[in-house]
Amino acid sequence: MNIDELAARVPSLRAMLLTVLAQMSEGLSNRQIATKLGYSSGRVVGTYVYMINKELGLTKISSALEKRHLAIEAFRKSRAAPVKIRVSIGSSARIQSNTISIGKASADRIRALLINGYEIAAVELVRSVAGVARRKSRRYARNREAR
């Protein structure tokens, strides 16, 4: 089966199937996807994976691993345009000279994208407004106590 033909079919998938396929492309297992999307078991996701395979025309392939691989490759090819991902650096981020330290969860997200073949052209770091307001109020309280 030609990967270009599969990629052309991906946009016709229903939103939920695209959501599951996107999670598959991040290397998550059915159980991990179920947990992330709030389903009670991996069987629900297994049904979605079956539906994805059916709609992409992969049902004649006997290897489940090969079907998954082809579906993921088709998804990635269909999403060739850059995707913007915002990374919240949270209040624990530290900025020192040319380095910004981010949390483990954010770093893991970026690492997972790189491992799964995504190219990162730019990263937008967003600092939590709540964290900034909290620090300002702490500074204000300290200055007030010092008087």
Identify the pLDDT of residue 20.
Answer: 93
* DSSP reduced 3-state for 100: strand
What are the structural domains of the chain?
Answer: 3-78 (1.10.10), 86-146 (no CATH)
Identify the pLDDT of residue 23.
Answer: 92
Identify the pLDDT of residue 79.
Answer: 79
Burial class (CB in 10 A: 0-12, 13-18, 19+), 112: middle
Contacts of residue 59, defined as CB under 8 A and 6 or more positions apart, other chains included, come to 53
Paired tokens of 23 = 């999670």
C-alpha dist (Å) from residue 57 to 8, 12, 49, 64, 71: 12, 12, 12, 13, 10
pLDDT tens digits, residue range 111-147?
Answer: 877 776 677 777 777 665 555 555 556 666 666 666 6
The residues of the chain scoring below 70 in pLDDT are 1, 80-95, 116-117, 126-147
